[in-house]
Structure 1
Amino acid sequence: MKLNIVPARTGVLWVRTGLQTFAKRPLAFVSLFFFFMALVSIASQVPLMGTAIALMLLPTMTLGLMAATAEAARAGAGAKPPAAAVFLAALQAARTGFRPMLVLGVLYAVLFMLVMGISALADGGQFAKVYLMGGTVSREMAEAGDFQAALWIAMLLYLPLSLAFWHAPALVHWHGVPPAKSLFFSFVACFKNFGALFVFGLVWVGVFIGSGIVLSLIATLFAAVAGEGAGAAAGALMLGGAMVMAAMFFTSTWFTFRDSFLD
């Protein structure tokens, strides 16, 4: 395994290739994303340990979606892989290497909770409670200086954590790298290719904003035509659109790993 340094413009290629791969089997990728999100949601309902268990599942979810993308990408340009093969690739990746992925999940949960704990020092835990338990944010709370400070602290600390776990599940699965080392290698790879990842993120922000505007216009038009009772349908449309966009995003992450490491 060798680190590969790519130019910043590769970030655009990652997004485009991810969208093209998603287009091969959109229903399979969306269904797979919904399946993993349902597992995370169910796990979060477990008393006392639900949040921690849900966090532990996230690296495995990422790996499953990356494995599905790798399977679809093998079909070649324009070819459509069997939907069953996409699903099986994801599930097989999720169940193999159980112990190292469990360790990686525990590390993610512990480090994420540490980030939330540090942010709680600024506002007494209000932001952490809202983020982890889904509480309501009032206008007064959002405008409070200590709440905003906690938000910025969490964002700044989560960035290096995100970079450390960006390639880690794939490194553990495809290269057999131990969990702790995978975090180091992932962070170094992201740091070395930060330009491409920055462009990747910037393009995705544009895609999300553009898609959000289109979905908002469709929802507004639908509400105007349907009249009363259309609010719930419009909300479902926005939520469904957001989930589809998230599935597209995760599809493209495989290519950031594929091009950052050479066998």
Structure 2
Amino acid sequence: MKLRIVPAYTGVKWVQLGVRAFWRQPLALAALFFMTMAAMSLATLVPLVGAPIALALLPAATLAMMVATAEAQQGRFPTPALLLVAFRTGQRRLRAMLALGGMYAVGFLGIMGLSALVDGGQFAQVYFGGAKLTPEVAESPAFQGAMWLSVLLYLPLSLLFWHAPGLVHWHGVPPVKALFFSLVACVRNFGAFMVFGLAWMGVFLAAGMVVALVTGLLSLAVGTAAGGLMVGAAMVLAAMFFSSVVFTFRDCFEPPEEYLQAAPAPATEDAPPPPAD
């Protein structure tokens, strides 16, 4: 496994590749994304431990979308069985994925706990659905402070876990090392990830304006159909975003032989390899 350094413009290519891969199998990838979200939502219904379980499933859900996109990119049909791919690759990797999920849940809940020190837990209650977001609450300085603190603290957590599921699954890297290598890859390719984020922001803004225009016209004619269109569009955009994650992984690390060979290799500058496992 070797870390790759890519040019900043690669961030735009990641977005393009993700969108193209999604439209190779749009129904299958959208359905898989919906099923992963539904599974996490059902997990939250478990009393007391529902939220931590749902959070712990996120690395496995991310990996499922990465593998499904890789299948679509190579011309194969991604089946619902890929939802369990994180738990079907041997005991060692199963334990590693469970460890990743547990660490992610602890990290996220820790962020929510720190935000509670700012506003007494109001932001956390709204986030987890335990309280209603009212205009008065949203405009509260304490609530806004807790929200921005959570956003600031979530960034390093996101970088730690961005590549970690792929490193565990494709390279067999232990969980703690996977977190370290993920963070290093994101930091070393900061320019590409910045462009990637800005490009997706532009896609979401443009799509939002189009959907708002269409739903505005529909609401005059059929009313409730407009809301369904907005939800559906949001789900498709989110699925496309997750479809692009696998390309960031492919370009930041030297891939195994069987992994996404159909995709064109980017222009890269190889970095020194990370410490041996």
* Bin of the TM-score, shorter chain as denominator length: over 0.9
Partner AA of 2:213 in structure 1? L
Indicate yes or no: 2:246 matched with 1:254: yes
Indicate yes or no: 2:77 matched with 1:82: yes
Partner AA of 1:234 in structure 2? A
Cα shift at 1:141: 1.4
Q: 2:57 is paired with a residue of what secondary structure? A: helix
Q: Distance in 2 between matches of 1:63 and 1:105?
A: 11
Partner AA of 1:139 in structure 2? P
Greater helix content: 1
TM-score by length of 2: 0.88
Greater Cα shift, 135-144 or 58-67: 135-144
Indicate yes or no: 2:173 matched with 1:177: yes
Q: Distance in 1 between matches of 2:78 and 2:118?
A: 48
Greater Cα shift, 134-143 or 105-114: 134-143
Cα shift at 1:72: 1.6
Partner AA of 1:140 in structure 2? E
Q: Distance in 2 between matches of 1:3 and 1:122?
A: 39
Cα shift at 1:91: 3.5
- Other-structure match for 2:149: 153
Partner AA of 2:239 in structure 1? A
Q: Distance in 2 between matches of 1:54 and 1:23?
A: 28
- Other-structure match for 1:78: none
Unaligned ranges ≥5, structure 1? 76-80
Q: Distance in 1 between matches of 2:200 and 2:44?
A: 28
Alignment map for 1:132-171 (pairs within 5 Å): 132-171=128-167
- Other-structure match for 2:234: 242
TM-score by length of 1: 0.92
Unaligned ranges ≥5, structure 2? 256-277
Indicate yes or no: 2:107 matched with 1:114: no
- Other-structure match for 1:55: 55
Aligned residue pair count:
252
Cα shift at 1:89: 4.3
Contact 1:15 1:252 in 2 (8 A): yes
- Other-structure match for 1:216: 212
Q: Distance in 2 between matches of 1:83 and 1:109?
A: 27
Aligned-pair identity (%): 57
Partner AA of 1:194 in structure 2? F
Change beyond 3 A, Cα 1:155–1:12 = same
Q: Distance in 2 between matches of 1:254 and 1:28?
A: 16
Change beyond 3 A, Cα 1:134–1:203 = farther
Partner AA of 2:26 in structure 1? P
